Structures are given as C-alpha cells and as structure tokens.
Structure 1
Amino acid sequence: MEAALRHMLALLLALQLGPRGAAAYKVDKYSLLMPNVRPNRPELYLCTPIKVDPSKPYYIVGFEPNATMSTAHHMLLYGCKFPGSQKSVWNCGEMAEHDDYLETSNPCGEGSQIIYAWARDAPKLELPEGVGFMVGGKSPIQYLVLQVHYAHIEKFKDGSTDNSGIFLHYTERPLNKLAGVILLGTAGEIPPRAEEHMETSCKITERKKIYPFAYRTHTHSLGKIVSGYRVRKGENGKDNWVLLGKRNPLTPQMFYPVFNKEPIVYGDRLAARCTMKSTRDRYTEIGPTNNDEMCNFYLMYWVENDTPLKKKYCFSLGPPNYYWETAHEFNYIPDEEASSLNA
C-alpha cells in the first residue's frame, strides 16, 4: 500500500513539474564572467566577449547572475554578429571617452541586440518550457558580449579584482519557440524639481505573432513608476490599452511575468512611460552615469516556428520633444493607471 501511494505521489509530482521537471532535455552551463578586471575609475563600463560555435546552434534557456549591486550597478548581455573589439576586455560605455589604458568601442560592431539585463540583486531567470534564445549556427548572434557597469570603485583600490558575470544555461536540443527582446526607451531631459513623463512608442510592422512572457524596468534614482502597454485600435477607433507590466524601478530589476500574455501582432503598438520625479536643482539628462537618468522597459517574448522581430529597439526623443498626447498617435490614454501603482 505504501509503495503504491509513493508511486502515485511521484506520478502527480511529475505531472506538476512538466517536461523540464522530468528532464525533457539536457541543460548545460557556461560561465561568461569578467576576467578578473580591476576598474580604475567610477562609472566605468567594461565589456568582454565570447565567440559562439558557428557549426551548430545553441539555445539559451536560463540566466544565472554572478554579481551583487555592491560591485556592479548593472549588467547587460548583448548578442552580436561581430563584437565591438577583438580584445579580451574593452571600455564600452555608451558615451565612452578616450581611454589611455583600454581600447574604447561599442559592445557590438554589428548586429547589436540585448538579450538579458540585470541590476539590483535580481535573481536568476529561467525561460518558459521549450523557449530559448538561439545563438551560433546560422543565427544572427555569433558573439555574446557581457557589459558590466562599475558605478563605484572603492572596493578595488586595495588591488582586488572582479569576475562579475552570468552563468548561461543552454541546451543543444533544437527548440521551436525562439525568444527575443525589444527594448523601449527614451532620450530627453527632466526639469529641476519637477515630475516628468518620459514616453515612447512604436508600431509592429512585421507580420509575426509574438507572445510576451516577461518584462523588466530600469531607471536610475529618479524613477518612480515604469509601465508598458500593447495598444490596439478598436473597430470604433478607440484605442485598447492592455497593460503588459508596471513596477517601481527601484525594486530588484529582474524580469517579471507579464500581466497579459495575449499575442502581439502586426499593426499593434508598444508604448512605455517612465514617471520621473526630480528633487535636484538642475536639469537631468538621459545618460550612462548615476548623475544622469535612463528610462527603459524591456519586453521578452517568443515566436513559434519563426524568427524573432528584426526590430530590437524602440526609442523616442523624450521630453520635451515627444509625449504620447502631443504625438497624436493615441486616444483614451490611461494617464492615471500608467503613473500609479495603485490604479
């Protein structure tokens, strides 16, 4: 009787865990880490690359960060056709100036796309069952480039070095649900002692059906709320705003499950708003340092038996040059909901 009960419980557990719990496919781990670097000045961005085997595809199904916010302000993982440098480490800040010690270049030399981002001690991320980022083989991602932003360097003044990075979980089993990321963001500036809405939007112009499953928000210290939407024109001309995600960006900046998993299709628009509140006596511009700001909404999705969107980035000029209302792209804007956690 006890043996039969144990067998039944094991069967129920296997059904609850699903295919991955039953070892549907082998998952290996690869360490993409900074090679014991020693940052020599604050607000430094460093990049290190790996070349992916071009003879066959691999599918990344999980990301396990090896970092703490006391060391790394944030990390980005880029997929590239070619890296920005052939060096093992280079200075790769968005607005990097000449560096006497390191080569200065962008993360990617060609074919840039962000496939993962981490900040504020976010935990690891596992993709849904059967979903993966295809790299290597005939995919456009032939290199992976890790970028780490070192905002502060006090802990390295004694000669200590750093190996922050990401453990990549991957499988060689072909997957038919391929993951992608589209990054929504803005340029612009925030006036002193003011609340400002930094907004962006773009239209889906590719005839693909994408299934959103995770979102991530990112600002620096002035961000209060970041929200993202799928907007679809109704038959009566009224815009239908579907909330994909909304969060205080100063909480752990991990990828969270989207609020709505309905597919996004040709003709839909994606829109994002960052509500920023400045306590400073100066203008704050978009930029890479803690004295600057950023407004980012990442949307992670998958496509079935198709390739991810060619469009990887959706940016606007931001305030005072771009707002949803003055761009005349939308109606019935959910103004209160987009800027309040309680609405």
Structure 2
Amino acid sequence: MSQKCCLKVLSEGLKRLGQPEATRSRRVQYKEPIVEMILQEMLPGFVCGKADLTLYQFNAVLVQDYYWLYWNFSSSTELISFAVKVQTTGWIGFGLSPNGQMPGSDVVIGWVDQYSGPVFHDRYAYGRYAPPIDPIQNWFLTNAEVEDGYTVLEFYRNFITCDDLDNEILLETARIVYSWNDNFYRASFPISISLSKHTTAGSTSINLRGGLPNAPPIPEDSQSFTIAVNEVEIPNYETTYWCTGVALDSSITEEEKYIIRISPYITSGSEPYVHHILVYVCDGLDNSDTGKGGNCDTEISDNMRNCLSQTLIAAWAVGGSDFVYPEHVAFPIGGPNGEQFAVIQLHYNNPEQVSGITDSSGIVFTYIDTRRQYDAGILFLGHAVAPVMIIPPNTNNFKTIGLCSGPCTKTYFPSSGMHIFASMLHTHLAGSGIKLAHLSTAECTSEGKTAYQELQPIENNPHYDFNFQQATHLPQEITVLPGDTLLLECKYNTTGRTGVTLGGESTLQEMCLSFPVYYPRMTELPKCVSLPLFDNMDQFIDNYVPDEHKLSFYSLTPGSSAETLESTMNLLKWTQDQINGYQQYIYQEGLQWSSCGENMGYSSTVPSVSCCSYEAPDVCTGTEPAPCCQRCCHAKCGTDTTRVSALMLILISAVMTLLIL
C-alpha cells in the first residue's frame, strides 16, 4: 500500500472519528496534515506504509504457520491497534464474539484487490452466514499489503464505541473469532458483494488488555535463574500434584536480589499436561529435601509440605505468558536474612492417562541487583482448597465465595494500604466467571450496623476460560485500605454433571482462587482464605431436604470427609429450588471462617452490597452513578460485620485442619 493511499485511508478514518453522530460516542476532530503524527502518538507501533510487525508489543499465533495476530493498546487514549498476517491472498476475517460462536460477533473482513486496492469493512454477524456491513463503521484500516502469498491488514478502534452492533473490548478474556478464504477475490462493488465461504475458521481466548503496555526494558546487566522439576516422568493418573525442593543458589542467598520478570519454561511435549505452576520460598528444608520430588500429598516431607503455606513468589497457569513487573516494583528474594529454599509445585493434568512423558518444566526468574522503590508480594486469596466447597450438579450459575474479611485486612494491611497492580484468577473446568470485588464501609452508618459499598472491582472476568489463564496488569493501581474487604466470587457451570463437585486439587474438582500482585510486601500475610461454617445448614435441611435424608445431613460438619460430604449431598436430586436454597444459606447468609496470618482468623458474615453494588460510569452518555448513600437506606442495608457463634467454637479445630490443605 502506498504512502499516499495509506494517508488517504487514515484521513477518511479520522474524519469519521470526528463525527459523534456517526459513531454515537465522543470523538475529536483531527486535521488531515497531522493524521500520521496523531496515530503514532495514540497507537504505539503504528506504521503508515510497509508493516513493521516488530513494533507490536503483544502477539499470538491463532493458527500455526497460517494466522498471526499482533496488537498494541493505550489505556489513556482508549484505543487498540491490530495487525493480522495470514497466509492467503483472499479475504481475512477477525472479530470479537460473545461466546466463541459466529452469531453476535463484531467482525472486520478485508482483502487487497490487485486492481482497486484495499477493501475493508466493519460487519456484524447476525447468524451463521456472511455478516452484512455495519451501517456505522468503527474499525478503521491503516495499512494493507500482500507479499509472497501473505496478506497483512492493520487497523484500530476504540475500546468502547457506543455502537449497539460493536462488542466492547474490556479488561477480561475476549473470545476471538478468525477466518480466511484462500481464493483471490475481486469485487467492483464491495458494498453489495456476497462473500465466498471461508476456507478456515475458528475461535480462541485472549485478554487483549491484560498485558503491561510499554513495559520497562529488561536491563542488559540482568541475570536469571530457573526453578524447575528434574526429569519427572508424568504419572499416568488424571491429576497429580508434584513437588520438588530446591536450595537457592549461593549467589541469591548471600546477597538479596530483585525479580523483575517471571517466565514459564515448559518442556517441549509437556504442554498438554502442565496445567499450573506455583513456586514458594521458605526456610526449614534440609539437604534430604532438595533435589527430590514426589506426589505433594503422599511423598514429600513435612518440611516441604509446610513450605507450601509460606511465601508465594510465582504463579503461572495454562495460557499465561511472561509477567513483567512495572519499573517501580520488584520482588525481593534471598539475602542472608531471607529464605534459603524453594518448593515448586506442578499440577499435571493427564485425563487420557498417557505414560512415558518426561518433564522438566519450571519458572525462569529474571533479576537485578538493585532494589526498586517498592518490594512486591503475591497474596494467595480465595476459598480454602477443601471438600467443604460443594457445587450442585446441572446448574449454570452457582456461586461460591472466598472472603478476606475486614478484620483480617485491618490487622495485617499497612496504614497506607495494599496497592494492587496485577492479579491472576484461577478455577478449574467448571469455572465460567470470576470476580475479585473490593468492598468498603460507606459513611452512612447507623449504630451497630455498617453499610457496605462495592468499589471498582479489582478484576472481573465473566468469560473465564480454563484453557487461558494469565496474570492481568490493571490499568491503574487499586489501593485496599485496612478494614476493607476483598471478596472473590466464582461462578460455575456444571451442566451435564450428575453428582456434586467438591473443592479439591483435581481438574474435575474445583477451586476459587486469586493471586493479587501488590506492594508493599506483607511478610506476615502469605494467605487470606475462607470457608463456610455450615451454621445455617439446619435451615437448609429443614426447608429443602426430604425427611428420609435429614438425619444424614444433620451429621455433616465442615470437617466431614470428602467421601461423606459427596455421598450425602448426592442423596438429593438437586432441583433449582434446592440449588438456590443451598447458595443462600451457605454462601450468602452463612458464616464464613476467614483465615489470615499464622493461626489467626475471624468468623464473619458475607457483606451485603445489594443496595450499593458497583456501577460504572456510562462512558457513552457521561452519566455518573448516584453515591451509595443516596441509593439506599443504610439502616435497611446495614449488616453486622462480625459475629461469633457457638457452632464456630465447636468446629474450629476441624476448620483449621481444612485450611492447611
């Protein structure tokens, strides 16, 4: 594409940006002589003319050897630029889907006609047929070229266009749809063309805004070390948690270092089996623990097992990539007064029970010698990994919670607060949505009552994908003050399952976890987890359990074995009323034991924000939500923050045993 043609495309696109009535959003009118300078400022990596794909910070291979996606984005301008490179001289499709399917997708289709030049349109897919052109064009082409059988299209759009036929690009997992046709296509009248069917099409999950734009460069004098398992023959079981103890190198233990990047290292051929990796550092191991590995449940020492509740320094899951710390933060490790050992835990997922796979996967840590302004920490937060988390079968909207209560944050958080700049969310196969909510007390309080308000969520992913899990950098740091509450809400879809799903380590069991990355580091708070105390179980039994099963249910406690919990819960047929009742009595109104620090915990109710849930400003109309105290009567919305029950005192020993898991 010539420079003149490129500038013409840009000029037309920017003229459209200056027409609010055409795009139904607030835009700025740009003058043609400075269009390229403006685009370069708004879209890092923008090129007018021949594409330079190395200028894009983020990339993904959608189809190996055939389809590549590149992108940059700017939170300040709320613009995102894309490039697609496809091995074809025909048309190329790319877009955003609500669920990975074609209907409801916001797509672009373009190609380069060797006679008339580039053809490119914003379209909307109403069904499983060629999507018609959107009357309002909000995707704008900046470059198009064909060379050696490959077509490259470069284009951009706003995160939010305020067009009903466009899907928003938010800080969450996006369902990307892609397609292409291999045949050269020429159309004299592109507005009325009927496209030939795609040769190849598919979908994948990507968090387009989850990376760190303009990440600080890695210094030339940085160094690295690797913590990995050593030639493990992956067991031919569906689920294995493998732990290996490692003595940190003397170069680390003699002088403190500062981690600035975490990179997964997955052995070639092990990719289908390595589901997630956690790395902890600790003291207390001895030489007999290092260099060895085994099943985390049955084959490691108590010293290694204790390390799994100490300082978490890395968390990676399938779909994740490198994690780079911002320039003012690094994670300290080692030194004469620091931890001297590490334990790496790998979750192997082997549903086909394949044998003969040898694995040496792990994490590569890039570090520098100089301390940055702040020391980082990673908090293990959510629902305790225990069978007391019970998810009924055949439901698509059951929610559990993990609570880091106000008393916990008041006890351990510094007065300046916990500053969160990144987060990773984690469930297993049934997980379909997950949100880390931030609650604070509203100023409209009455005596003995506290009104809670939900602030902007730290991370919200309503389209969670088990096969795509990565740490997400937040657009702005979020400060959580002492006394605030962190509430992790996990939604599950167990449609098709005939029995209850318990919390646990197996992929077919469930988790509800988050790993906020923050500063300043809180060495006394590695974990903040919770579980239900079953204080309202009697009410659930009285209202929803048939008489012939009541006695079995009355005997349940949070400390009951997984086998007992599963067999008893499976006595129910689990109607929708029973599912709703269980969620209400156990997770919405029931007591939760919030554990934080060493042997410290609080029995707390779940704060209600039904009156003061978070409402985002409407970017299309500029409307701001009403303040919390104007939206509800605090006397009506008030909730006791903490209460202790006799049942909790009876069950405390069982609860603490479960929290160790």
* Same fold? TM cut 0.5: yes
Structure 1 position 168 matched with structure 2 position 365: yes
> What is the 5 A alignment of 1:169-208?
169-187=366-384, 188-194=389-395, 195-202=397-404, 203=406, 204=409, 205-208=411-414
Map 1:222-233; keep pairs closer than 5 Å: 222-233=430-441
Structure 1 partner of 2:255:
56
Match of 1:316 in 2: 530
Counterpart-to-counterpart distance in 1, 2:472 and 2:393: 32
1:75 maps to 2:277: yes
Residues 422, 472 of structure 2: 8 Å contact kept: yes
Check if 1:235 corresponds to 2:474: no
The CA distance in 2 between the partners of 1:337 and 1:132, in whole Å, is 31
Distance 1:92-1:308 versus aligned 2 partners, 3 A rule: farther
The 3-state SS of whatever aligns with 2:289 is coil
Shift of 1:83: 4.2
- Is 1:331 the counterpart of 2:608? The answer is yes
Alpha-carbon offset, residue 81 of structure 1 = 2.3
The answer to whether the 8 A contact 2:436-2:489 is kept is yes
Unpaired runs of 5+ residues, structure 1, are: 1-8, 339-343
1:253 aligns with 2:469: yes
Show structure 1 runs of 4+ deviating over 6 A: 153-156, 334-338
1:37 aligns to 2:232 (yes or no): yes
Contact 2:419 2:477 in 1 (8 A): yes
SS at match of 2:236: coil
Confirm or deny: 8 A CA contact 1:186 1:200 kept in the other structure.
Answer: yes
Structure 2, unpaired ranges of 5+? 1-39, 46-212, 446-450, 536-585, 592-604, 616-661
In structure 2, what is the Cα distance between the partners aligned to 1:255 and 1:124? 9
Structure 1 residues 1-343: aligned runs within 5 Å: 20-21=216-217, 23=219, 26-42=221-237, 43-52=239-248, 53-67=252-266, 69-83=271-285, 86-93=289-296, 96-97=297-298, 99=299, 103=300, 107-110=304-307, 112-138=310-336, 140-152=338-350, 157-158=355-356, 160-187=357-384, 188-194=389-395, 195-202=397-404, 203=406, 204=409, 205-208=411-414, 209-237=417-445, 238-242=451-455, 243-247=457-461, 248-250=464-466, 252-258=468-474, 261-279=477-495, 280-303=497-520, 307-318=521-532, 322-327=586-591, 328-333=605-610
Alpha carbons of 1:81 and 1:22: their partners in 2 closer, same or farther (altered >3 Å)? closer
In structure 2, relative to structure 1, the CA distance for the partners of 1:107 and 1:75 (3 Å cut) is: farther
Return the alpha-carbon distance in structure 2 between the equivalents of residues 126 and 64 of structure 1.
9
Question: d(CA) in 2 for partners of 1:312 and 1:80?
Answer: 11
| 1:206/1:336 CA distance change after superposition, 3 Å | closer
Superposition deviation, residue 240 in structure 1: 2.7
Determine the C-alpha separation between the residues in 1 that align with 2:312 and 2:218.
31
Cα distance change on mapping 1:320 and 1:291 into 2, 3 Å: farther
* 8 A contact 1:232–1:241 mirrored in 2: yes
Give yes or no for contact 1:227–1:297 (8 Å, CA) kept in 2: no
Identity %: 23
Instruction: Tell whether the 8 Å contact from 1:241 to 1:334 is kept in structure 2 after alignment.
Output: no
Contact 1:227–1:274 (Cα < 8 Å) also in 2? yes
Alpha-carbon distance in 1 for matches of 2:325, 2:392? 39
Specify which structure has the higher proportion of helix: 2
Higher relative contact order (CA 8 A, sep 6+): 1
Distance 1:271 1:66 in 2: 32
User: Using the alignment, how far apart are the partners of 1:334 and 1:58 within structure 2?
Assistant: 47
Matches of 2:241 and 2:419 in 1, distance apart?
32
Preserved CA contact (<8 Å) 2:260 2:325: yes
CA 1:324 to 1:115, structure 2 compared with 1: closer, same or farther past 3 Å?
farther
Cα deviation for residue 115 of structure 1 reads 2.2
How much does 1:107 deviate?
A: 4.3
Normalising by the residue count of structure 2, what TM-score does the alignment of the two structures yield? 0.44
Q: Is the Cα contact below 8 Å between 1:230 and 1:269 reproduced in 2? A: yes
C-alpha displacement of 1:69: 4.0
- Indicate conservation of the 8 Å contact 1:59/1:134, yes or no: yes
Could you tell which deviates more after superposition, 273-282 or 32-41? 32-41
Distance 2:499 2:533 in 1: 15
Task: State the distance in 2 between where 1:19 and 1:122 align.
Answer: 17
Instruction: Tell me which protein shows more strand as a share of its residues.
Output: 1
Cα deviation for residue 250 of structure 1 reads 2.2
Per-residue deviation, 1:166: 1.1
- CA shift, 1:71, in A, is 2.5
**Shift in alpha-carbon separation, 1:19–1:127, aligned structure 2, 3 A:** closer
**Higher radius of gyration, 1 or 2:** 2
* Contact 1:218/1:249 (<8 A) preserved: no
* CA offsets 1:174-196 (integer angstroms, 9 cap, x no match): 22311111122214110122332
Please tell me the residue identity of whatever aligns with 1:38.
E
Letter in 1 for 2:418: I
Give the secondary-structure state (helix, strand or coil) at the position aligned to 1:109.
Answer: helix
